[in-house]
A = this chain, B = another copy of it.
Amino acid sequence: MRCFWEPAQWLLRCFMQLYNKAVIIQYDGTNYSGWQWQTHSPSIQEELQKALKVVYKRDVNAVGSGRTDSGVHSIGQTANFITDTYIPDEAVVLGLNSILPMDISITKAWDVPLEFHAQKSAKSKTYLYRMYPSRVRSAFMHNRAWWVKGRLDLSGAAEILSAFEGTHDFTACCAAESLRENCVRTIYFTKFYKEGDVWCLEVNGSGFLHNMVRIITGTVVKFCRDGHGPERVRQMLETKNRKLGGPTAPAEGLYLKEVFY
């Protein structure tokens, strides 16, 4: 593929003058309806394409690595766009950031082969979920982390979470509208750690069902509260029973952390 594509790409660049650029796009999703363009409210894709139109002086279609829901944040969402004008990486970063709202930021831009597709080329993604168990809410965590009311012993959380690792049918961990599709997914690794007052849960996988990370998070919190162990996770996955799990954790704690290619 490499032998074939490299000269083909070079030829395309010479004659058709097409360039493919990837960007890392960071956003606080609070004020947006998610990644995907919506008619009724502003989306990240819309803001990015509006900024691209100013920088490239024509309509440019941006492809994201995947949707993020309303209120979900991104540290490492990756997008790409094909243009017929070449603009250096640094100028793309500075140009887009000068136009984008302050809660969206391009942190990196780089050239990618023409066949690179932010969604289809992705090998895995890491999602981060932030929560803080506390008696009182924090004025600074609002919209940025899930306030888990009251004190909570999360010492068993890492073990419960790791029971989700591997290839499973995740029917018990998805929103109802995903149930028509094949629900087998692979989780490569999970992490559970503390940063100050905030507990961080990370899940890396090849693909995710709708609300899967939020349901996994809600389940870990519920099982810690109820004193269940990892065997309950295995039971939940085997029986495909959504009711055995916890609630869907709110969107505000979820971050698309990194996309691997």
Contact = CB atoms under 8 A, between A and B. Distances in A.
B105 A27 contact: no
Interface string A120-156: 0000000000000000111110111000000000000
B102 A142 contact: yes
Contact of A142 (B28, B93, B136): B28
A136 B97 contact: yes
Contacts of A105: 136-139
B139 A103 contact: yes
A103 B136 contact: no
A106 B103 CA distance: 27
A138 to B, nearest CB: 6
A105 B102 CA distance: 25
Nearest to A135: B93
Interface of A: 26-28, 73, 93, 97, 102-107, 136-140, 142-144
A118 B102 CA distance: 36
A27 B106 CA distance: 28
- Chain B CB count within 10 A is highest, among A28, A73, A105, A143, for A105
A140 B144 contact: yes
B107 A142 contact: no
Nearest to A137: B105
Contacts of A143: 102
Nearest to A102: B142
B97 A142 contact: no
Contacts of A103: 139, 142
A139 B100 CA distance: 10
Contact of A140 (B28, B106, B142): B28
A102 B144 CA distance: 12
Nearest to A106: B136
A106 B138 CA distance: 9
Nearest to A27: B139
A251 to B, nearest CB: 15
Contacts of A27: 139
B136 A93 contact: yes
A26 B197 CA distance: 15
